[in-house]
Amino acid sequence: MLIEGRNATKEALLSDTTVEKLLVSKGQIDNTLKVIVAMAKEKGIRVNFVDKMILDKTSETGKHQGVIAYTTEFKYSELEDILSAKPDNRLILILDGIEDPHNLGSIIRVAECMGVDGIVIPKMRSATVNETVIKTSAGATQYMKIAKVTNINDTIRELKDNFFNVYGLDMEGVRLQDAHLTGDLALVIGNEGSGIKQLTGKLCDQMVSIPMSGKVSSLNASVATGIALYQCFIKREK
């Protein structure tokens, strides 16, 4: 798998990700790239200095910023790994069919910043962690536990059996700031176009909404997730 861009590559070098080699654009070695090269060499990672044209041809995203890292494939977690990370006050994000890799990357980035303990995505009809997701997440994929499950609804049932409150984010529902957002909580985010599936919504304990006053009646999935997680963060920090 390729990791592209300076922030994502730096985070990969700082984490436990296995980096096999770096491609660095010769002639574009500024202070930031010097730091990345030094980090790689300190870890014994091979660094190849190549023409920018080679990076352009290798890049999957077209935004390599002068550096590409070759790594092992992304390692998904199990739901049990997420549940066992903390004894209580856990916050899990369930993505019910996010299809745009840019949205997934942005969601992972904000989830890591807002203290989410893990993300659950379905195996089918969903974006998965690829080069674009890693780049968009600015390296947050290195620190976020992500479980890929066969059935989202079975996962919700399992979480409820473990005494999680499961809330679905929707245009109709209790105002988010009025909901009980502490304790073990799972927040379900629906597909960019169709939202949360009907059966999945019925399994949720409650639907919550983001109050809006503008003329546009909807938000991008990653933006809505960021607002919702920030509200959770505020409530849970008190």
221 shares its domain with 109: yes
- Residue 221's SS3 state is helix
Contact 164, 186 (CB under 8 A): yes
121 shares its domain with 170: yes
pLDDT tens for residues 4-57?
999 999 988 998 788 999 999 987 788 999 999 999 999 999 999 999 999 999
Residue 238 pLDDT: 66
Cα→Cα distances 108→70, 92, 94, 105, 128, Å: 21, 12, 11, 5, 11
The CATH number linked to 57 is 3.30.1330.30
99 shares its domain with 190: yes
Number of domains forming the structure of the chain: 2
Strands 2-4 and 67-71: what pairing? antiparallel
What confidence tier does 216 reach under pLDDT thresholds 50, 70, 90?
confident
pLDDT tens for residues 147-185?
999 999 999 999 999 999 999 999 889 999 999 999 999
86 shares its domain with 178: yes
Please identify which residue in the block is written with the tokens 């909901």. Answer: 179
Beta carbons within 10 angstroms of residue 147's beta carbon: 19
67 shares its domain with 121: no
100 shares its domain with 210: yes
The per-residue pLDDT of the chain, averaged, comes to 93
> Of 213 and 223, which is predicted with more confidence?
223
Contact 90, 184 (CB under 8 A): yes
Distance in angstroms (rounded) separating the CA atoms of residues 43 and 46:
9
* % of the chain residues with pLDDT over 90: 78
Please identify which residue in the block is written with the tokens 């209790």. Answer: 174
pLDDT tens for residues 59-85?
988 889 999 999 988 889 999 999 998
Write down the pTM of the prediction: 0.83
Domain end residue (candidates: 71, 94, 127): 71
> 189 pLDDT exceeds 90?
yes
* Residues 6 or more apart whose Cβ sits within 8 Å of residue 75: none
What confidence tier does 94 reach under pLDDT thresholds 50, 70, 90?
very high
28 shares its domain with 110: no
118 shares its domain with 15: no
Q: What residues make up the domain containing 47?
A: 2-71
128 shares its domain with 65: no
Residue 167: what are its φ and ψ, rounded to 5°? -115, 140
Residue 96 pLDDT: 95
